[in-house]
Structure 1
Amino acid sequence: MRVTVGDVPPAGFEEAYRAQRARWPGGAAAWQPVHTVYVPADRFSAATVADWGGEALALAEAHLAGPDEVAEVFGLTGGVAGGVAQGVTEELAPGVRERVLRKLAREPVEDLRIDFEDGYGVRSAAEEDAHVEAAAEAVAAMRAAGTLPRRWGPRVKSFADGDAGRAVRTLDGFVTEVVARAGELPPGFVVTFPKVLMAGYLGQFAAVLDRLEARLGVAGLRFEMQVEAPQTLGFLRGDLAESLGGRLSAAHFGVFDYTAAIGLPPHEQRLDHPACDHARHVMQVAFAGTGVELSDGSLAASPASGSAADVRALWARHAELVRHSLRHGFHQGWDMHPSHLVSRFATVYAFHLATYDGYRDRVRAWEERRAAGGGVMDEPATVRTLAAALRRADAALG
């Protein structure tokens, strides 16, 4: 081999490569919750998670008596399930039902958000302060009892509403009280920062976390931003997380504020609207490779009554939306009612179980340098995606 310029990298390469690694570290967290449960602060207590789990489990036992009902309600009767043509989806129903019941009894909520924003409303300063203190006391009690979800934290008010001081006071009071009562800030803490209409608000909020860490002697305070307006899409970019010093952990899509802001009629405010697909794809492009997690929004509906027909209709619609999110690469979403836990877990489990064996066999075939069968010719990028999907499935199904 003849060379003319040697193997010396071009001038500036090392600096550019370091910037690349900092901006797009790649990889994924070992575990991401499949949902975030939002509970208004005035309705939150140390019993909330258990209450939600109990109500969801009662609904599942009452209205999913066996595998046939699971298959019918959650679309496991052949055809297309989870975005992949399935000939054996009906066989998944018994395992899905068993997993859902076990999950609701053991860990009904993976990620909990105590809401001081839209779900809570505007209160007097004294009333919100009192709810902050009560919420912190409940968190400390859950920590002591071992019932605090793996992820948890508050959603504070938006700076866009013009009262940043109230948001900061609630966050400061909540974190300070939790640390005082629990003796530490329990692991899994994250704060949700809603309605980010100005890019500058992100840096300002990160600075608030800097000050809290310094004053309380804690570390690793992180926040998730909500993408709820078309203006926000304009400043989402690949270096955003890096510019915030690693404090940005996730971006959550807010379907109702977003669809209202772009002028959709009320009956079109839905997660599977094409306009929401566009917003989600912009989020994916902006945060790909950055380590920032993505979450979809919610279904603002509960069963019209306790009848089997109404409960199953709600589950079927919610499952349809969860599948839509999963097909678009959003593996987390918001759950706003105990009934949603049933359809969330059932749909997630079916989605992963339907493809698990096939994905595993293709990865093994690649590693063993043999044909996968079925005429499939996997590219290296596809194999990496298959392996990542298996890791995500293991985390969700575990």
Structure 2
Amino acid sequence: MLEEAAERQARRYPGAPTSRQPVHSVYVPAHQVDRDLVRDWAAAAERSVARAGGIEHLLAVHGLIDDADERSAVGELVLAKLRREPIEDLRIDFEDGYGAVADETEDAAVDGAVETIDALRQDAQLPPFVGIRFKSLEPPTKARGLRTLERFVAGLAALGPLPAGLVLTLPKVTSVAQVEAMVLVLTELESALGLPDRLEFEIQVETPQAILGPDGVSLLPQMIAAGDGRITGMPYGTYDYSAALGIAAGDQSMAHPAADFAKAVMQVAAAGTAVRLSDGSTNVLPIGSADEVDAAWALHGRLVSRSLHNGFYQGWDLHPAQLPSRFAATYAYFRRGLPELARRLAAYLGDGGGAILDEPATARAMAAFLLRGIDCGAVGPEEVPFPDTALRGIVANGPK
């Protein structure tokens, strides 16, 4: 009896993945995407910093780093990131950011998205993660959503191997049946196109029905199980979810108690699975007067830092001027924790000495923290007293 239960548990909870997770997803409406997008966003991000008075000003607005030398080091890292990899995860949006258009118009935009991804790949500008958000499987939009999904995947497959970081985002999920339908569709696409690898997808949590079903039970664990190992992520949708609860527009926020409740349910449902979480976005953009930009940056910095402290290591960005703010807050978080956690992990793996008595599970969390810092560029591998292969081994198998 116990062996059978253990096998089910192992299948259901394989443990957190050790591969890289992006720190953000950049959502861009499909009609605004072209081969210059990454360069244009990087240039716009740098201009926003220059107009404000430089990276030191942004870091001062955030107020996250007290030490002047460390503030200067983080500033240099952020500017280097904007030049090297301004977008970690690009989501070409055919849903709310795109709207309802004639079929031939959306078909042309899908073809354009495929061409853009191919052009970015040829230009060596393709972000590590890239994909689309298509329309939901709710009755009014399911036919169009599936048409876009099929046309997009088929178009990419016709050009050669699919991008290694391909992400397909299924929005506004309200039932387990929609996840089952998605699995069926992907299975059929793989067969029809002769794809060598399994297609994976995200389910976007932005409806109350996903958090609590009609029988009073959360549907999220059932959705993950129905995904048959294909679900890689669950991004939270700040504004659709808040609006569905009747929260006034001025009170909708990633930090609202209703948002915290939904994300706590997501966190518990995904724990121990291969599903990663992403927080939502803020629609307060760093544009306008100097004071308005500073206020938006300060808000964004607080929200990004709050998400990180709550265990959400990814979020959405909607505007180029949010990129420097995202990286500044993220880098400050990982660099602030670097010295202590590196020492604690070294002590745990050594003689166990130190003022804090850590558990094996905490050692895995410390290794994951250091690994995330390296993956996003906040921390150099030379600053961590362990190779990343060792850190991934600890995350995957626990400290030995």
TM-score of the alignment, normalized to the shorter chain, above 0.5: yes
SS of the aligned residue for 1:371 comes to coil
Q: Residue 205 of structure 2 contacts residue 234 of structure 2 at CA under 8 Å; is this kept in 1?
A: yes
CA offset digits 1:102-128 (Å, max 9, x no partner): 010011000011100000000011111
Moved more, 13-22 or 270-279: 13-22
Aligned with 1:223 (options 185, 201, 209) = 201
Partner of 1:117: 95
The alpha carbon displacement at 1:66 in A equals 5.3
Partner of 1:353: 335
Q: Residue 70 of structure 1 contacts residue 93 of structure 1 at CA under 8 Å; is this kept in 2?
A: no
Count of matched residue positions in the alignment of Structure 1 and Structure 2: 372
CA offset digits 1:60-97 (Å, max 9, x no partner): 23325253x2442111355xxxxxxxxx5x54211111
The alpha carbon displacement at 1:161 in A equals 4.9
Supply the distance in 2 between the matched residues of 1:378 and 1:328 (Cα, whole angstroms). Answer: 20
SS of the aligned residue for 1:263 comes to coil
Aligned with 1:332 (options 285, 293, 314) = 314
SS of the aligned residue for 1:290 comes to coil
The alpha carbon displacement at 1:313 in A equals 1.9
Q: Residue 23 of structure 1 contacts residue 238 of structure 1 at CA under 8 Å; is this kept in 2?
A: no
Partner of 1:175: 153
Letter in 1 for 2:313: H
Supply the distance in 2 between the matched residues of 1:238 and 1:164 (Cα, whole angstroms). Answer: 23
Q: Residue 236 of structure 1 contacts residue 283 of structure 1 at CA under 8 Å; is this kept in 2?
A: no
Partner of 2:127: 149
The alpha carbon displacement at 1:371 in A equals 2.7
CA offset digits 1:33-60 (Å, max 9, x no partner): 0000000011111111111111001212
Moved more, 25-34 or 287-296: 25-34
Letter in 2 for 1:266: A
The alpha carbon displacement at 1:353 in A equals 0.2
Q: Residue 227 of structure 1 contacts residue 253 of structure 1 at CA under 8 Å; is this kept in 2?
A: yes
CA offset digits 1:365-392 (Å, max 9, x no partner): 112224324xx33233322222221122
Partner of 2:346: 364
Report whether the alignment pairs 1:160 with 2:149.
Answer: no
Letter in 2 for 1:195: K
Partner of 2:63: 75
Supply the distance in 1 between the matched residues of 2:55 and 2:184 (Cα, whole angstroms). Answer: 52
The alpha carbon displacement at 1:18 in A equals 1.2
Report whether the alignment pairs 1:130 with 2:108.
Answer: yes
Aligned with 1:262 (options 237, 245, 252) = 245
Report whether the alignment pairs 1:377 with 2:357.
Answer: yes
Report whether the alignment pairs 1:343 with 2:325.
Answer: yes
Q: Residue 301 of structure 2 contacts residue 325 of structure 2 at CA under 8 Å; is this kept in 1?
A: yes
Report whether the alignment pairs 1:280 with 2:280.
Answer: no
The alpha carbon displacement at 1:239 in A equals 5.4
Supply the distance in 2 between the matched residues of 1:236 and 1:340 (Cα, whole angstroms). Answer: 33
- What is the root-mean-square deviation of aligned Cα atoms in Å? 1.6
Q: Residue 60 of structure 1 contacts residue 101 of structure 1 at CA under 8 Å; is this kept in 2?
A: no
Partner of 2:9: 20
The alpha carbon displacement at 1:267 in A equals 1.1
Q: Residue 236 of structure 1 contacts residue 286 of structure 1 at CA under 8 Å; is this kept in 2?
A: no
Supply the distance in 2 between the matched residues of 1:184 and 1:77 (Cα, whole angstroms). Answer: 43
Supply the distance in 2 between the matched residues of 1:64 and 1:372 (Cα, whole angstroms). Answer: 43
TM-score, normalised to structure 1, is: 0.90
The alpha carbon displacement at 1:268 in A equals 0.8
Report whether the alignment pairs 1:205 with 2:187.
Answer: no
